[in-house]
Amino acid sequence: MELYERVENVKSREDLITFINHLRIDLQSNRGDWENITLEDFLKAMEAWINDMEGYYLHSNQPIPKQPSWKTIADILFASSMYE
């Protein structure tokens, strides 16, 4: 299962823990596919994506979260791996 598919399965704290484990393994296995491999770049992308995330949710026809859910956190982490 691809990471973007795993994001959709995050509904609980345990699901998020599992997703983070898969994210870490993916970084180890597919480092070349990641845009942001340093902590500094990852955090910079995270900041930018959170700032722009309303556009993502609007573009993908999803409601804009008023309060972050476990899935929202997974969305942020996944997007931070590639967002520029």
In SS3 terms, 8-73 reads as HCCCCHHHHHHHHHHHHHHHHHCHHHCCCCCHHHHHHHHHHHHHHHHHHHHHCCCCCCCCCCHHHH
pLDDT tens sequence across 39-66: 999 999 999 999 999 999 999 999 998 9
Query: Could you state, in order of their start, the residue ranges of all structural domains in the chain?
Result: 3-80
For residues 6-32, give the mean pLDDT.
96
Count Cβ atoms below 10 Å from residue 18 Cβ, excluding itself.
Answer: 15
Nearest to 29 by CA among 57, 2, 47, 51: 2
- The whole-chain average pLDDT of the chain stands at 94
* pTM score: 0.89
Flag whether pLDDT at 20 surpasses 80.
yes
